[in-house]
Chain A
Amino acid sequence: MTNTKRRTFLKGTMAAGAVSAAIGVGLLTPRMVLAAWPSAAFNAESVDAALNELLGSQQMEESDKIDIRAPDIAENGAVVPVTVTTDIANPESISIIARQNASPMVASFVLGSSTEGFVSTRIKLGKTSDVVAVVKANGKLYSTSKEVKVTIGGCGG
């Protein structure tokens, strides 16, 4: 066997090996790697249930130390920029909830010890909704909400 042929042969076997490995990983990943992904919280249809599943409590304290920046009117509900900033000391996580979405839990950002109380992302809103930012700090939940009016929904369609 010449060197080139051998190389092609090796490539072929390696590719096949990679594919089967990928299939195996694909099947196992959701359970193994994503043990942390809280499906019950993201599938919950009520805000209280989602909060209980994710953060262990539904008791939130209104706080003026959280600022939500989002448009008053979103023309396109599929892309709504949301920025949450908080001055609360030692924030552990920032969660974003869209009260009127079919599944209200949008995202939860778990912050490292050196991470500041700031996250910015873009979310989908099915219709006009209160966007709630929930900050977990010192074992308590603090929240602020802001209404975003949507002219074209971002889910379904």
Chain B
Amino acid sequence: MASIKIRAKAEGGVTTVKALISHPMETGQRKDKSGAVIPAHFIQEVVCEHNGNNVMTALWGVAISKNPYLSFKFSGAKPGDSLQLTWVDNKGEKDSTKVQIS
């Protein structure tokens, strides 16, 4: 779906993954104009799998910035392999996308 932008590039045996997720990452500490607290709404877990093997599990709190960015590197993948990224937030909403490593 549309909430994830991800790019994975294999170079010299190392794959660099860069991902951007659209998400409000609301802390639960902010107030709206009427003074009411805006409830927390944030991604708690991001899982990334290469050909079905887990290469990264990110556990996040509210202090990750709005529209989160995540980058990491792993070895052992080749161009054409599949990479899947899934996120789940504190309301149980989730999204997932699969890309081919270039």
Chain A residues close to B by CB (< 8 Å): 25-30, 33-34, 36-38, 42, 78-81, 83, 98, 101-103, 105-112, 114-116, 118-125, 154-157
Interface of B is mostly: strand
- Against A, the Cβ 8 Å flags (1 = close, 0 = not) of B22-57 are 000001011000000000000011000010011111
Closest 7 CB pairs of A and B: A29-B92, A26-B92, A120-B71, A112-B55, A122-B65, A42-B61, A110-B57
- Beyond A103-B61, A110-B56, A155-B63, 5 additional contacts (C-beta under 8 Å) are A112-B53, A114-B75, A119-B71, A121-B64, A122-B64
The contact of B70 among A29, A112, A121, by CB within 8 Å, is A121
The contact of A36 among B30, B53, B59, B76, by CB within 8 Å, is B59
CA distance A66 to B55 in the complex (A): 20
- Residues of B51-102 contacting chain A, CB below 8 A: 53-66, 68-76, 88, 90-94
CA distance A103 to B61 in the complex (A): 9
Q: Which A residues are in CB contact (< 8 Å) with B55?
A: 111-112, 114-115
- Chain A proximity of B82: nearest CB distance (Å): 15
A155 touches B27 (CB 8 A): yes
A37 touches B45 (CB 8 A): yes
The contact of B63 among A26, A38, A123, by CB within 8 Å, is A123
- Nearest A residue (CB) for B25: A124
- Chain B proximity of A25: nearest CB distance (Å): 6
CA distance A110 to B54 in the complex (A): 10
B56 touches A111 (CB 8 A): yes
- Chain B proximity of A75: nearest CB distance (Å): 14
- Chain B proximity of A113: nearest CB distance (Å): 9
A121 touches B56 (CB 8 A): no
A34 touches B69 (CB 8 A): no
CA distance A25 to B93 in the complex (A): 9
CA distance A90 to B17 in the complex (A): 19
B14 touches A109 (CB 8 A): no
